[in-house]
Structure 1
Amino acid sequence: MGLNPKGRNWGTLVNWDDLAKFYAGFILAWTVILYAGVTWLIYNRHLAFIKIRNLPLAIASVTSLHIYLIKIFLAYTTNGHFPCAAEFWIMSVYLPCGIALFQANLMQLKSISEQQKGLLLEEEGGSNQDVDVAHPSFASRWWSRWTHLPGVKRTYILIALGMTVQLIVTGILYATTPTLQGDWASYGHISHAKGQALCRKSQQWIPSAFWQLVWAWVYGPYLLFGVRNITDTHSWKLQVMLSVISGLPGAPLWIAAVFSTAFKPVNIWWVPPMWLAPGIIVMQLTTVFFPVYEIWKSSSQMRTTRAILNHWEEQRAGGGGGGGGRGCESIDQHHLAASSSIISSGDTSLMAPSTSTEAPSRRHRQLCSMASLEKALAVNPYPLLYFAATKDFSAEHVLFLIQVRRWRQACDAAPRIENENALTTSARARLFSSAVEIYTSRVNHKSTECPINIEAKIRRDLDAIFSPAVPTGHLVEKNEKIAVGFTSESQSQSHFQPLSPIQQHMPPSTRTRHTARSNSEDTLFDEAATAAIEGPFTFTHPSAMAETLFKPHPAVSPLGGARAIIRPGFDEHVFDAAEASVKYLVLTNTWQKFVKFGEHNTSGLV
């Protein structure tokens, strides 16, 4: 059919030439592809790295932008049949709303990064919260509250205020501009086509592009500067960069195309709002398909990990399981989530130092095993914790494993009734108080900003046991942690290896928290460190332990006595299912990335 030589001339005929068919076909195909990706994200919304992206906000942003995108792609086809007033409201509401939601969604990167750094400070024993003091004036109190709000909440509030102002301004402009309402008398006696064209060139349209202009030229560069030091494994920073760069030309070119006669030959084929389309498409693409790609990569990595583990188990089974340990149990997710033990503590053959003759592929399989993760948690979990907090944004899972490990060590060393294996009443109460702290700081959605990602059934079981012991309205202090009141004499006999690449980026307070280690070539796994961390524990006096091991929780205060009743089902295995689920999640995600990161550095993992 070719092209209509008049192009978009605001006439009464609908354009259905080859260019119109291309525009319609492209937007139809892009809609199908885009929402196929959205559907896939919704289907996989339970994944931890999808949860942190605030999926509802991302979908709302993509949808608002897509409504506007459909309109501008069909502008050439509809020619003069689309009312000027309808286009004004779409561009003044859906475009700013979509960009505002997109800004809020990208702010998640900075917010999550700050939360994860807070978890890192928490484990180091510090506090990432400022001390609030009394302020004499009303304004000072409100300013203090504002400054203590998380950055993402401040952004949400500012965006909501901005959108409210945008709607008010849009309503005022529409009500006070007759031409937007179809009254073109001010233009004189003109044709319908001429009126449609002149209506879209009034200055009342400029505020509709305000959000895009501010996003691309003000807020985008500001956000990019704020995340300049973040190097994450989710390509989030790359998403910010691509979105900002792609949006830079849009608003200036749209303004030039509307008000400059030099663009007239271009406008009949490429309507002025189409200059915003490339930036919008890139924003949608990065918002939806970056996490889709991560899902695919994570799934592929999980299959590879399972294959490595199965191969290693078969190899060990064929060799008689050298070392006398049971090795890893069957690596099935549902089995792991329900099992109370994943690996025997007696299996140390997988943890031996590497040698120069060891094949790299075998070494990789060894590092990817559950045994290697177990040993890292036992010997020195802090490099893994630092990696999870600064790159993978999954520190809450590593912290949970660390805290549960300490809690279980406390269980093993706690006093028991003579001639029985049962815990004493006081020890059981203190262990319950400690378990409540783990629950409130890592599991309960109401008391922690970063809850662990576990199955709903496991969470319900923990809620039934611990939720009644958490006083309503009380949150765990950010700087509280589970301290182990048992000492190991060998832990003080430590010496250090030269810093590896990952340690060079770690703060001194984190990288110096080593357990004992030998001169082994394997700086992550050595037997001396294992002996140190798993050496004989000395039980402290009960009165001292009450002060150092378990800090009094509000649940056991006089006012909360009824809440402090230990519920049925509480024993030393209460966290086993949650630990197995989280450990499998860490093994197949964070740990694999950590191992790969270490393999890319010649100095080792830690």
Structure 2
Amino acid sequence: MGSELGVTGDSKSQANLSPVSVWWICYGCIWTFFLCLGIAYMVIHRNSPTIRIRGLGLMLSSIFFLHLYFWSVQFGLCMGNVMPGDAMFWFMGVWLPVGLSLFYASNARFLHIARLQKKYAYPCSRLPGDSSKFRRQSGLMGRFHRLDYSSKSFLVVGVLMFVQIGLSVLMYLISRKYHPSWGIPGTEVTGTPMEMKAEQGRGWEWWPGIVSQFVWCWIIAPITLWKARDIHDTQGWRTQTIACVIAGLPATPLWLAAIYADGMAYMQSVWLPPQWICVSILVIEIFTIFLPCFEVWKRQSLRQDTLDAIAQWEARNKSSSGEGGEAKSLASGSTAVESILSAWKSTKGSIRSDASGESILTMGALEYVLERNPAPLQEFSALREFSGENIAFLTAVAEWKHSLPVALRDTTAIRDDKVQELMREPFNRALHIYAEYVSPGHAEFPVNVSHQVLRKLERIFEKPTLLLYGEREEPEPATPFKETFDLDSPITPDTGDSEKGLKNSVREIRNLVQYWGDIPEEFDASIFDESEGSIKYLVLTNTWPKFIKIHRSSISSAATLEAGVNVVGLNDERSEKSART
């Protein structure tokens, strides 16, 4: 049998500076350097939707603890003979389970965000797992179910970590293997100092750490993957979940085999037993750090390609023959858009239209879809992009503008008492749009507008919003990840403390109360123009090209399938004719 750091009774109490141990140290340093570069890239682009939606603070905390364990193992072959015999016991009993707990809690956000985004795809349906039934329930379970997602996650992870670390401390206290003078008699080990250190690197005392790995990697992780089986996002999150779950499965069995199987003892001179766990950590770090970085780079590349396509189309339009060429291009673009929309509902018939492929990426084509039939784009953005709030916001603003009285559309008109009365209902509707989609303190998923635009809207709507929805927690400017943590616990109508449930529910308050105070002078029909333009540009350069690309691929696949069916049918007809003759 082996031990955690490959120590045997014949080992010498000195550092091992063999080429293999030096290689492992260099490998650990180089990988840490690249990992730090990836983390720095994520921090710099922390406002990107791909990074924000993952929860940067919790994710980096998990990577920190996992990498501490990874780093200690890389030095294990070199320093194992001189390290205290119980060092790796605490590394595996504290750093590793804490890192795994935080990681899978962070990765479970995938299911939570996907669940909340369904309301944008299916606005008339109730979310599954509605917790409103727990509002009136008393006791600990009722209080637990009334907590928001972030509080639930930290509570569950905190309890599990407390139990696991407590069990590790208990094993350490009762075993005389680590302190011969006290503990349960019969648990001590004898022999030379190196023989005793080798025994400290294995044994029944290690079972809390093993059970913890088994629970997270073999129970919780597969359950998360099973629940995510129907989610196909464009953020790379599902790919990350699958890779990390698969990578975590063999780590614990291989570690046990390396410790207790005599046939694997020969490997310990070049490959320590915990290196099997480090392979799992390596895969987790690759897909947790570098995959999102790649997705951010790909998003930026797609944005630039879209802007280049628009620029080429506009240049070609200017060189065309006046208004006739522009109208013709707009008509062909509308035809292509209609083909895309019809393909969403059915893949039958001749639906391929590449006549104006470049013009379909323009703002005009996007506005055409938003005006005629935004449902397919909204469903795509909610279920696959996890940004359904953008399309919902644009739709709500468009409906608000169309419902404005003619008297309010003239921004130069004098506001007498009659006009002020006409503004009452439009102001309340605009107020609810701000609270539901823009306000950082009240919206579940605030749309990403610039600081200047947000401050302008806050000057008009924030005080009335506080009157209707209550106080909000101001973000801490000194904490760089506060904005990211805001997405950890989005305020939902069916969660939160019972005393705040009604206050935080935008949709419930919209149907119950109205604002009757003074309407700010800055409020007019153009109040949402800047934010609407900003979100349209964001959708145009991010969601819209993905929507077009994916559905063009589905259209091509459908056309190929239809052609294959026709060929099969033709062959069957020929076979029947041959049989008759």
**Do Structure 1 and Structure 2 share a fold, with TM-score over 0.5?**
yes
Q: What is the identity, as a one-letter code, of the residue corresponding to 2:315?
A: E
Q: 2:528 aligns with which of 575, 580, 583?
A: 575
Classify the secondary structure of the residue corresponding to 1:602. helix
Sort the Cα spacing of 1:182 and 1:245 in 2 relative to 1 into closer, same or farther, 3 A.
Answer: farther
Q: 1:436 aligns with which of 431, 435, 438?
A: 431
Sort the Cα spacing of 1:68 and 1:126 in 2 relative to 1 into closer, same or farther, 3 A.
Answer: closer
Sort the Cα spacing of 1:472 and 1:91 in 2 relative to 1 into closer, same or farther, 3 A.
Answer: farther
Alignment-derived partner of residue 484 in structure 1: none
Matches within 5 A, 1:411-560: 411=404, 413=406, 420=413, 424-471=419-466, 474=469, 554=513, 556=515
Matched positions, count: 501
Sort the Cα spacing of 1:366 and 1:231 in 2 relative to 1 into closer, same or farther, 3 A.
Answer: same
Q: Once the 2 structures are TM-superposed, how far is the Cα of residue 86 of structure 1 from its aligned partner?
A: 2.6
Deviations 1:501-560 (A, max 9, x none): xxxxxxxxxxxxxxxxxxxxxxxxxxxxxxxxxxxxxxxxxxxxxxxxx9666452xxxx
Q: Once the 2 structures are TM-superposed, how far is the Cα of residue 594 of structure 1 from its aligned partner?
A: 0.4
Alignment-derived partner of residue 255 in structure 1: 256
Structure 1 position 78 matched with structure 2 position 79: yes
TM-score by length of 2: 0.78
Q: Once the 2 structures are TM-superposed, how far is the Cα of residue 390 of structure 1 from its aligned partner?
A: 0.9
Q: Once the 2 structures are TM-superposed, how far is the Cα of residue 384 of structure 1 from its aligned partner?
A: 0.3
Alignment-derived partner of residue 493 in structure 1: none
Q: 1:371 aligns with which of 335, 339, 364?
A: 364
Q: What is the identity, as a one-letter code, of the residue corresponding to 2:303?
A: M
Sort the Cα spacing of 1:71 and 1:374 in 2 relative to 1 into closer, same or farther, 3 A.
Answer: same
Identity %: 27
Q: Once the 2 structures are TM-superposed, how far is the Cα of residue 34 of structure 1 from its aligned partner?
A: 0.9
Deviations 1:322-341 (A, max 9, x none): 2597x9xxxxxxxxxxxxxx
Alignment-derived partner of residue 274 in structure 1: 275
Structure 1 position 195 matched with structure 2 position 188: no
Q: What is the identity, as a one-letter code, of the residue corresponding to 1:173?
A: M
Distance 2:555 2:443 in 1: 38
CA contact (8 A) 1:127 1:478 kept: no
Q: Once the 2 structures are TM-superposed, how far is the Cα of residue 193 of structure 1 from its aligned partner?
A: 1.6
Structure 1 position 237 matched with structure 2 position 232: no
Alignment-derived partner of residue 390 in structure 1: 383
Q: 1:353 aligns with which of 335, 343, 347?
A: 335
Structure 1 position 161 matched with structure 2 position 159: yes
CA contact (8 A) 1:396 1:442 kept: yes
Task: Give the stretch that moved more between structures: 311-320 or 95-104.
Answer: 311-320
Alignment-derived partner of residue 113 in structure 1: 114
Alignment-derived partner of residue 175 in structure 1: 173
Q: Once the 2 structures are TM-superposed, how far is the Cα of residue 182 of structure 1 from its aligned partner?
A: 7.6
Distance 1:134 1:302 in 2: 44
Q: Once the 2 structures are TM-superposed, how far is the Cα of residue 196 of structure 1 from its aligned partner?
A: 1.3
Alignment-derived partner of residue 571 in structure 2: none
Distance 2:24 2:322 in 1: 64
Q: What is the identity, as a one-letter code, of the residue corresponding to 1:367?
A: I
Sort the Cα spacing of 1:247 and 1:440 in 2 relative to 1 into closer, same or farther, 3 A.
Answer: same
Q: 1:408 aligns with which of 401, 405, 411?
A: 401
Sort the Cα spacing of 1:271 and 1:126 in 2 relative to 1 into closer, same or farther, 3 A.
Answer: closer
CA contact (8 A) 1:216 1:247 kept: yes
CA contact (8 A) 2:234 2:385 kept: yes
Structure 1 position 90 matched with structure 2 position 72: no
Alignment-derived partner of residue 25 in structure 1: 26
CA contact (8 A) 1:384 1:594 kept: yes
CA contact (8 A) 1:7 1:15 kept: no
Alignment-derived partner of residue 57 in structure 1: 58
CA contact (8 A) 2:437 2:446 kept: yes
Q: Once the 2 structures are TM-superposed, how far is the Cα of residue 365 of structure 1 from its aligned partner?
A: 1.3
Distance 2:410 2:68 in 1: 69
CA contact (8 A) 2:379 2:388 kept: yes
Alignment-derived partner of residue 265 in structure 1: 266
Sort the Cα spacing of 1:415 and 1:581 in 2 relative to 1 into closer, same or farther, 3 A.
Answer: closer
Sort the Cα spacing of 1:551 and 1:71 in 2 relative to 1 into closer, same or farther, 3 A.
Answer: closer
Sort the Cα spacing of 1:419 and 1:288 in 2 relative to 1 into closer, same or farther, 3 A.
Answer: closer
CA contact (8 A) 1:350 1:371 kept: no
Distance 1:229 1:55 in 2: 25
CA contact (8 A) 2:21 2:78 kept: yes
Sort the Cα spacing of 1:130 and 1:362 in 2 relative to 1 into closer, same or farther, 3 A.
Answer: same
Alignment-derived partner of residue 596 in structure 1: 549
Distance 1:34 1:302 in 2: 26
Q: Once the 2 structures are TM-superposed, how far is the Cα of residue 349 of structure 1 from its aligned partner?
A: 4.6
CA contact (8 A) 1:96 1:209 kept: no
Distance 1:264 1:177 in 2: 25
Q: Once the 2 structures are TM-superposed, how far is the Cα of residue 253 of structure 1 from its aligned partner?
A: 1.8
Alignment-derived partner of residue 211 in structure 1: 212
CA contact (8 A) 2:334 2:365 kept: no
CA contact (8 A) 2:176 2:188 kept: no
Distance 1:440 1:167 in 2: 43
Deviations 1:30-81 (A, max 9, x none): 1011111011000000112211100111111111100000011110111311
Q: Once the 2 structures are TM-superposed, how far is the Cα of residue 358 of structure 1 from its aligned partner?
A: 13
Matches within 5 A, 1:304-383: 304-323=305-324, 348-349=330-331, 351-354=333-336, 363-383=356-376
Distance 1:202 1:211 in 2: 16
Task: Give the stretch that moved more between structures: 422-431 or 105-114.
Answer: 422-431
Classify the secondary structure of the residue corresponding to 2:14. coil
Sort the Cα spacing of 1:591 and 1:321 in 2 relative to 1 into closer, same or farther, 3 A.
Answer: farther
Alignment-derived partner of residue 565 in structure 1: 518
Q: Once the 2 structures are TM-superposed, how far is the Cα of residue 259 of structure 1 from its aligned partner?
A: 2.9
Q: Once the 2 structures are TM-superposed, how far is the Cα of residue 419 of structure 1 from its aligned partner?
A: 11
Q: What is the identity, as a one-letter code, of the residue corresponding to 1:353?
A: T
Distance 2:18 2:556 in 1: 63
Distance 2:419 2:162 in 1: 61
Sort the Cα spacing of 1:463 and 1:420 in 2 relative to 1 into closer, same or farther, 3 A.
Answer: closer
User: More helix per residue: 1 or 2?
Assistant: 2
Distance 1:595 1:227 in 2: 24
Classify the secondary structure of the residue corresponding to 1:162. helix
Distance 2:556 2:392 in 1: 25
Q: Once the 2 structures are TM-superposed, how far is the Cα of residue 251 of structure 1 from its aligned partner?
A: 0.9
Q: Once the 2 structures are TM-superposed, how far is the Cα of residue 262 of structure 1 from its aligned partner?
A: 3.1
Q: Once the 2 structures are TM-superposed, how far is the Cα of residue 385 of structure 1 from its aligned partner?
A: 0.4
Distance 2:518 2:557 in 1: 48
Distance 1:433 1:604 in 2: 47
Sort the Cα spacing of 1:31 and 1:127 in 2 relative to 1 into closer, same or farther, 3 A.
Answer: closer
Distance 1:38 1:467 in 2: 35
Q: What is the identity, as a one-letter code, of the residue corresponding to 2:433?
A: I
Distance 2:189 2:365 in 1: 81
